[in-house]
Structure 1
Amino acid sequence: MATEDKEVSVLEGLGSEICIRSDDIGFLPEEMPLCPNCARRNAPGRSNCIYCGEGFRTGASAYDASNEELEIFSEVLNGFNVVIGPQRNSVWTDQRNRLKMLTGFDLQIADIADLSQIALPVARYSVEHKAKQIGDELSTTGLEVRIVSDALLEAAPPMRIRCIEILPKQIQFTNFNTGQVYRFHPSEIKLIVSGTIREERVHATVKKKRNRPDKVDKQESVNLTPMIDLYTAPDVGFRVNTNGFDFSCLGVNKAMLAADNIERLLVMLGEFCPEAPTNNHFDEVTGVLCQVWDLESHKDHRGVLRIGLENKGRTTVTSRNNLRQFTKYSRLQARYI
C-alpha cells in the first residue's frame, strides 16, 4: 500500500507536465485563417467560416493579401512558391532591394560564389493568385520568374538506390528496396545535384528533486549525411544516400569513410556523364532557403523517468533536419533541365 501511495505522489508531483502524445494534434494560431466578417479563426482549408458562414473564396477572402500573417505560412500546408531562375550575381545585386521590398527576401550575394546555375525561391504564399501577383511585379524587372507549387516539388521524390554500376556505354541504378534495375546512356543523365543533410538532436532531461530547483541536462548532437540526386527528366530522379549505399563501383578508389566515397563518386559521375551539369550549391544556400522553406522539426516526449530512489524526471528529444528542404531544392533545379 505504501508503494502505491508513493507512485501516486510521484505522478501528482509532475502535474500537467506529463505529455500523453509525442506530437501536437491541433493547429497553431498562425495556421488558422481569420474570418473577414467575425474575425474568428477557422481550421485551414475551410471554404466558409464555421461560426458565421462567411465565404472565404468569394468577395472578401480570409486569404486576402490584406491579411499579412497568412501570406507566408507553415510548411504543413500546400503553398505556391515564387521562383527566380538562374541569374548572374550582378543581376541579383541590382534587384536585391526590390526583392526585399516586395517579398522580404534578403540574399547575401557575397556568401554564394555563383548564382548563374541556381534557381531560388524568394517567397511562398497560401494562394496562387497572390504568388502570381508578386511574380508579375518581379517580371517587369527582366527576371525569369515562375510559380511552382509545393505539390509539384513533392509529388515524385527521387528514388533511393542501393548501388551504381558502370557498364559499357551505360550506367545502371538498382532500387534500394525492390532491386529493380534501371539502365541509361550517359547522355540521358541531365542533372546531378549534391548536398548535405544536417540533422540536429537535443536530448533534454529535467531532473526533479525534493526541495531543490529543477536541473536540466542537455545533450546536443549533429549528424551530417551527404546525398546525390541524379535526374534523367524533371520528374525522374535517383538518390544516393550514404547510409546503406554500396560504393563498390569505385573499385580501387574506394575509401574507408563514406564521406570520402561520396566525393569520389561525384567525381566519377561527372567524368562518366560529362554532359550533365553538377549543382553543388545547396550547402551554400541552405541558410537563404530557410527564409522561404522551414526546416522539418519533431519533438518526442519520452515520459517519466526514475533517477535514483526517490528522484524523478522527464526527457524530451527535439530534432530538426533539412531533408525536405534539400528534396524541394533538388526537384526545383530539375524543373530547369
Structure 2
Amino acid sequence: MKSRLLSHLDAAIAAAAMPSEADCLRAERAALLARQGQLNEARSIIASLQAQYGLSPHPRVNAWISLAEGLTSYFSDLGQTAHDKIKRAYAVSGASRDRRLNALAAAWLAHMDYTAYDLDAMGRHVAEALQLADADNHSARARACLVVALAYHFGGRFDSAQPWYAKSRLHASAEGDETMLSAIMYNMAGLLADQSRHAVMTGEHDVAMLRRAELSLQSATNLDALIGIASLDALVPLHRARVCTLQGQWAEAVSLYEAHFSDGLLQGLDRMRASLGADLAWCRLQLGQTEQARKDAVAAQVSVAHDRDADDRAAAHHRLAQVFAQLGQADVAAHHREQAAADWQAHEREQAMSIAAIEKAVATLAS
C-alpha cells in the first residue's frame, strides 16, 4: 500500500511550475523514503540531486538535500552524524527564507536534541519550530508536537503528554503521513515500556501501563506491515522482547532477542547493549539455561558503563543483581544493587530537567 503522503509528493512533483521547486520536492520525497526504510532509493535520489546541484548550488534545493541526507543517515543507525546535516538544512533554509523547511529542520533538531539529552537545545528548537510552522505545515507540527509529548512523558507526566500526542497524530493524519503515525506509536510504546520496567523493578507493577505498551507496539507493527515501513526494523521486536520479559514470557523474549539483538545494535541500540543483554540473561536463567545466562550476564556487566541513558544503566544493574544473586554471587549482586540505586537517582534528575525545559518552551509559545 502506497502512503498518501508519497502519492501527494509524486503529484506535486509532476505539477511543479519550476524545476527547482520540483527538485525540492524530490529531496523531500527522498527524506520520506528514508523514514520508511527505503534507504537505497533515497540515496539514489540524493546522489542524482547532488550531481545536478554540486557545481551550481541552489540554496533552497541544497537545504532540502541536506535534510534528506540527514534523515537517511539517521534512519540507517540513529547516528549523531545526522545532526550535522539537519543543522545545515536548518541554517541554509533560514538564510534562504524557506520558512517551511526551517520549521521542519528545527523540529528534527529538537527530536535529536531530545534523544541526546541536550534538553535546553530541545526546548529552544521545539519552540522555534512551532513558532515558525504555519498551520498547514503538518510535517513540522507533527514532529514538534511529538517532541513535546516525549519530553513530558519521559519526565513522568503522561497526563501532560497525551494532548501533545493527540496533536501530533492529528497533523500526521492531515498530511497522510502513516510513517509518522507509526513513529508516534513506537515512541510512546518505548516510554511506556521504560516506565513499566521502572515500576516492576521498584515493586510497583502497573499492569495497565504494560498493556498499553504492548498494544502500541502491536499497532506500530501492524501499520508498518500495511505500509511497508522497513526502517530500523529490529527496534520494535526488541521493545516487544522487553515487554515479554516484564510479563514473564521468557521463551518468547529469548526468541525475539536471539532473532534481533545483533541487528538492533547495528541500528542504534548499542547504547542499550547492557540492559538488553541483562534482560536476556535473566530470561535464560528462568528457562534453566544457566551457563548461557552466565555468559550473557558477564558480557552485560562489561558493557554496562557504556549504556548512555541512566534508566537503562539502572535497569541493567538491577537485572544483573537478580541474575548474580540467583547464580550465588552475593557480593557481585550487592554491587549492582548499589549502582542501580545511584542510576535511578540520576534518571530522576534527568526527568526533572526534561520537565523544566519543556515547560519553559511551552510557556514561550503561550506568551
TM-score, scaled to structure 2: 0.21
Q: Which has the larger radius of gyration?
A: 1
Structure number with the higher helix fraction is 2
- The structure showing larger relative contact order (alpha-carbon pairs under 8 Å, at least 6 residues apart) is 1
Structure number with the higher strand fraction is 1
